[in-house]
Copies of this chain bind each other. A is one copy, B any other.
C-alpha cells in the first residue's frame, strides 16, 4: 500500500524529489564535524564550571559557600526553558493529523543543531575573551543558546509541513546567525533590555518565519487541504505543548534577569499576564462561533500571547495590574488574529502561516517591545529608587547618563531592528530555499509524514488477511481507493 501511495505521489509531482537520503546525512555530518572543530578552537568552561578556576575564585573572592555559584541561581530556570524548547514548541507543532512526527521530530533535530551554533555565535558576539581568544560558557550560556534556538523554532511554525528537514536546517543556520547579530545590535549597541526576548526572540522569529513563508508561497497548497487540520488526539498532544509553554513562561522571562529581586518580579508579572490572556482568549473564541463553542486553535495558542508580550517588560516595575492589562489586550488581539488576520494574510498577501506565528509571536512580540519601551520611559526614581534604576537598566559605563526617556526610545528602536532583521533576513533565506535542491514536498504532498518518515501501518488495517477476505468481493478499483484512503487518514 505504501508503494501505491508512492506511485501516485510520483505521478502527480514527477518534478519534486523528496529523497533526502544524501542531503540530510551530509548536512548533519558536515555540520557536526564543523561544530567539533570550532568548539575545540573556541569553547572552554567558564569560571563557575572549571574546577581550577572555581576553587581559585572562591579563595580570591572569599566566597564562603558553593551556593553562590550561578548554577544555583539559574539551573531550575534553565531546565524549565529547556522543556519549553523541546516539549513546549515540539508538542505545540503536533496538532496536524498526519504531521505529528514531523512536528516533534524536526523541532528536536533543529533545536539540537541550533543550540551548538548558538553557543558559538553568541559567544563570538558577546563573550569572546580578547586576551585568550576563547569563549567561556556556563549555565547562562546554555539558557541563551536555548533562547536563540527559539527564534528559529518560531519560524519553523510558519513553515510547518511545507518544507524538508534540510530546508529547516538551513532556516536554523541562518536564523541563529541573524539572531546573534540583531541581538548584538539591540542589547549591546542600543543597550536595550529584553530579558524574555519579546523583541529579539518573538518579533524577530515571527517575522523571520513569515518572510520565508511569503517567498515560498505555494499557490496550489489547497491540494493538501485534507491533511491541513487536526484530529481529536493530535489536538490533545498539542495541548501538552501549550501547557508546558504556559506554565514555564515565567521561568523563560525570568531566566536571565538580575539575581535577587529581578527574577521573582519577572516571574510574577509573566504569571499574571498569562492568566489574564487565557480569559480573554476564551471569551473571543466563544464569541466568534455561532453556538459559543470554543476552538482548540485559540486555546492552544492565544492563551500564550500574554507571555510573549511580557518578554521585555517583565523585569521592569510594570506593576501587577499592568501585567494583567497586557495579558488582557494580547489575548484579544491574538485570537482576533487567528480569526481574521491569518485568512487575510493567506488570501490577500499570499502568505501561508501553518501555526499562525503571526498571531502568537510576531504581533505580541512587537507589542511587547513597544510596551517595554513605554514602561521603561515611564520609570521613575520614586518607584525604582536611584540605585534601582541603575540596577534594572544597567545605566553604567558609557550609558551612565542615559535618561529613562532615552532608554524608552532605544527600546522602541530595538523593536524595529528586530522586525527589520526578521523580514529582510527571512526574505533572503526564502530565496535560498527556492533552489530546487532541498527535497521539499510537492503541493499535494504537504503536511504528510509519509514523505520523510517511516510511518507505522494503521491500527485499523492490522490483520491484513481478514481485511483481504472482506474486500474479496469488492471491485478492483475500490480496493486501491479504499487502501489509499485509509493510508491517508
A299 within 8 A of B: yes
Q: Given the complex of chains A and B, what is the CA–CA distance between A225 and B183 in angstroms?
A: 54
Least CB distance, A339 to chain B, in whole angstroms: 12
Q: Given the complex of chains A and B, what is the CA–CA distance between A58 and B258 in angstroms?
A: 15
A219 within 8 A of B: no
A396 within 8 A of B: no
Least CB distance, A268 to chain B, in whole angstroms: 6
| Residue among A2, A101, A243, A469 having the largest count of chain B Cβ atoms under 10 Å | A243
Q: Which residues in chain A, 90-109, are within 8 Å of chain B measured between CB atoms?
A: 90, 94, 97-98, 100-101, 104-105, 108-109
Q: State whether A24 touches B69 (Cβ < 8 A).
A: no
Least CB distance, A63 to chain B, in whole angstroms: 9
Q: Which residues in chain A, 299-338, are within 8 Å of chain B measured between CB atoms?
A: 299, 303, 317, 319-321, 324-325, 328
Q: State whether B231 touches A142 (Cβ < 8 A).
A: no
Q: State whether B467 touches A483 (Cβ < 8 A).
A: yes
Q: State whether B243 touches A328 (Cβ < 8 A).
A: no
A283 within 8 A of B: yes
Main secondary structure of the interface of A (DSSP, over half): helix
Copies in the complex: 3
Q: State whether A267 touches B71 (Cβ < 8 A).
A: yes
Interface size on A, residues (CB 8 A): 175
A131 within 8 A of B: no
Q: State whether A462 touches B474 (Cβ < 8 A).
A: no
Q: Given the complex of chains A and B, what is the CA–CA distance between A86 and B265 in angstroms?
A: 22
On whether A69 and B260 interact (CB within 8 A), knowing A286-B25, A479-B468, the answer reads yes
Q: Kindly list chain B residues whose C-beta atoms are within 8 Å of the C-beta of A384.
A: 51-52
A406 within 8 A of B: no
A459 within 8 A of B: yes
Q: Nearest residue in B to A266 (C-beta to C-beta)?
A: B49
Q: State whether A324 touches B1 (Cβ < 8 A).
A: no
Q: State whether A319 touches B483 (Cβ < 8 A).
A: no
Q: State whether B475 touches A66 (Cβ < 8 A).
A: no
Q: State whether A268 touches B101 (Cβ < 8 A).
A: no
Q: Kindly list chain B residues whose C-beta atoms are within 8 Å of the C-beta of A4.
A: 480, 484, 487
16 A-B pairs with CB atoms under 8 Å apart are A35-B276, A51-B384, A53-B261, A55-B261, A55-B385, A55-B391, A66-B259, A101-B232, A105-B296, A108-B246, A115-B271, A240-B240, A461-B483, A462-B488, A471-B479, A472-B476
Q: Nearest residue in B to A480 (C-beta to C-beta)?
A: B4
Q: Nearest residue in B to A271 (C-beta to C-beta)?
A: B142
Q: Which residues in chain A, 130-181, are within 8 Å of chain B measured between CB atoms?
A: 137-139, 142, 165
Q: Which residues in chain A, 68-92, are within 8 Å of chain B measured between CB atoms?
A: 68-73, 75-77, 79-80, 82-83, 86-87, 90
